[in-house]
Structure 1
Amino acid sequence: MGVLAAERIKLTSTRSPWWCTAIVVALALGLAALFAIVTKSAGDNPADGAPTLDVSTATAGVVGFGVMVLMIMAALTVTSEYRFGVIRTTFQAVPNRTKVLLTKTALVGVFSAVLTIILAFLAIGVAKAIGGSAPTANLTLDGQWRAVYGIPIYAFLMIVVAIGVGVLVRQSAAAISLIVLWSLLIEPLLGAFGSFGRNVAPFLPFQNASHFLAVSESGANWHWGPWGSLLYFVAFTAIVYGAALIMINQRDA
């Protein structure tokens, strides 16, 4: 409990977590409102390519951008301590480094999971209020529950990966660059190469995380369903985090 209290004080006494949380809220609700306005203004001509407003679209601000901001925040909770030397004081107070990392991960991960599920329901509510009457709107949860209850699971696992990467590289710029480029550029770029992309996408970790949340099937040649993709990403997360636990105990602070 002492370690948990210390990590809570670290998280709440600095400005960056508060700013990151505010940005996540703004992205989640702002993009939900924007997508609803676009769908509503498209009119009554769905045959002319009017956008569809569904649960996945309404929560895109949470999943697509909000979780990315939370991952950056999670990585900074580790790399900032290495940068300013706080990690040495922490390990002097608590020699069990594994306990420190597990506590930090649990605190940031649970916070992110709770925040994202609350914002998901708020985003759906905003989308319903603005664009729920649009002909192409389908904001009922029937058949789309996985796109909602999967968000906190997705967010928690992403936080675990981000903290693991932060421990492995130790530098803020390197950790943030790796997280952003890997998930937003490298994997989508590999998946865009025709048949090669369709064959390799099922083995890319972040593509599997997206497949778990997706209500409709993508064009990749998947060898397993959404729950198989979740297990695949859990295995990837365990490898990254396991490597971080080994390195944090072997390297000097």
Structure 2
Amino acid sequence: MIGPALAAVDAERIKLTSTRAPYWCLAMVVVFGVGVAVLLGWLLSGGYADRASVDTRTIDYLVGVNQFGVAIFAIMAVLGITTEYRFGTIRSSFAAVPRRPLVIIAKTVVFGGLTFVVAAIVSLVGVGSGQALTGNGIALGGPDTVRQLWGTPVFATLCALIGLSVGALVRHSAGAVAIVLGWMFAFERILSVLPRIGEDITPFLPFLNGRNFLSGGSDTFHWNAYGSLGYFAVVTVILLAVAIFVTSARDA
């Protein structure tokens, strides 16, 4: 079991590194992630804002990652499986690895691992660069900073795995990307502001729970920041399990 699983992971790694799209996606994450942090630090250091009157938190330096970057990671994961259906290479993957769950699990390991590592590096560089330019005394060892530096990569990884799951279920690139981005940036926010039901629904919306964790928690939710992260992780695992089950049950 271990041998075929490792072989499947290696095959997915080769697929990922043999196309240009992932490199462009990762380059965009770096540009947005570091660029926004540097821009914020430059604006504050250049006198464009009164540093004494601006409450700059670590999460502000990470907007490029936890807003733009997570969307790019999710799109990359979507394309990682939908393009195989588009070009018919998924049949070869299933022929080489007859146990279809292993294919999805291997993609989970590769895309999840890559997302976590890149998001962690970009977050650290972004916060460090912004702090160096701003000079506002944010400590990399502070509790809020530490939570952001490990929490942002975790949040990005969960977003990528949701993208992978939706891609496996929908199997069409445009449709899956539209669903993921609409869910991530529009659908939940619309539900949260609906009269009468918005306040009751908000605590159970996955992406808003993830962002509640990043922001440090809110009274709107039934649990603290870490409870929100746990809820988001459980929803991700359930969706991934559904994707594995459906992929195993239907024709390629």
When normalised by structure 2's length, the TM-score is 0.91
| Structure 1 residue 197: Cα displacement | 3.3
Distance 1:194 1:125, change over 3 A: farther
> Counterpart of 1:42?
48
1:98 corresponding residue in structure 2: 101
**Which residue number in structure 1 is paired with residue 8 of structure 2?**
3
Q: Which residue of 2 aligns with 1:67?
A: 70
- 2:192 match: 191
Match of 2:38 in 1: 33
After alignment, is 183-192 or 24-33 more displaced?
183-192
Deviation by residue 1:64-96 (Cα, 9 ceiling, x = unmatched): 111110110001000000000000011111111
1-structure distance, mates of 2:99, 2:51? 62
For 1:78 and 1:195, the matched residues in 2 are separated by 39
Contact 2:79 2:173 (C-alpha < 8 Å) held by counterparts: yes
Q: Aligned partner of 1:143: which letter?
A: P
Within the candidate set 116, 129, 132, 1:129 is matched to 132
**Residue of structure 1 equivalent to 2:142:** 142
Aligned to 1:170: 171
Letter of the 1:22 partner, please give it.
A
1:209–1:229 Cα contact (<8 Å) kept: yes
- Over 3 Å counting, the alpha-carbon distance change for 1:4 and 1:140 in structure 2 is closer
Q: 2:22: which partner in 1?
A: 17
**Alpha carbons of structure 1 residues 178 and 130: separation in structure 2 relative to 1, 3 Å:** same
Distance 1:176 1:105 in 2: 17
CA–CA distance in 2 between the matches of 1:179 and 1:60? 19
**2:53 matches 1:56:** no
Contact 1:79 1:172 in 2 (8 A): yes
CA RMSD of aligned residues (A): 1.8
Query: Residue in 1 aligned with 2:213?
Result: 212
How far has the Cα of 1:128 moved from its partner?
A: 1.4
In the alignment, structure 1 segments of 5+ residues that lack a partner are none
Q: Deviations over 1:117-154 (max 9, x none)?
A: 11111001110122124xxx645542312111112221
Q: Tell me, in whole angstroms, the C-alpha distance in 2 between the residues paired with 1:206 and 1:28.
A: 19
Q: Distance in 2 between matches of 1:139 and 1:66?
A: 23
Deviations 1:17-59 (A, max 9, x none): 0000100000001111122233333343745xxx432210111
Q: Deviations over 1:192-227 (max 9, x none)?
A: 347743332111110011111223x44x52111112
Aligned pairs, number: 245
Tell me if the contact between 1:33 and 1:127 (Cα under 8 Å) persists in the aligned partners. yes
Q: SS of the residue aligned with 1:53? A: coil
Which residue of the partner structure matches residue 183 of structure 2? 182
Distance 1:206 1:66 in 2: 14
By how many angstroms is 1:16 displaced? 0.3
- For 1:37 and 1:52, how far apart are their aligned partners in 2? 16
Given the two structures, how large is their TM-score scaled by the length of structure 1?
0.90
Say whether the 8 Å CA contact 1:164–1:244 is kept in structure 2. yes
Match of 2:232 in 1: 233
| Superposed displacement of residue 231, structure 1 | 1.8
In structure 2, runs of 5+ residues without a counterpart are 1-5
Tell me the distance in 1 between the aligned counterparts of 2:109 and 2:229: 19
The share of aligned pairs that are identical, in percent, is 37
Task: Give the Cα–Cα distance (whole angstroms) in 1 for the partners of residues 227 and 73 of structure 2.
Answer: 25
What is residue 201 of structure 1 aligned with on the other side?
202
Superposed CA deviations along residues 162-200 of structure 1, whole A, max 9, x for unmatched, are 111000000000110011111111112222347743332
Counterpart-to-counterpart distance in 1, 2:197 and 2:147: 28
**SS of the residue 1:95 aligns to:** coil
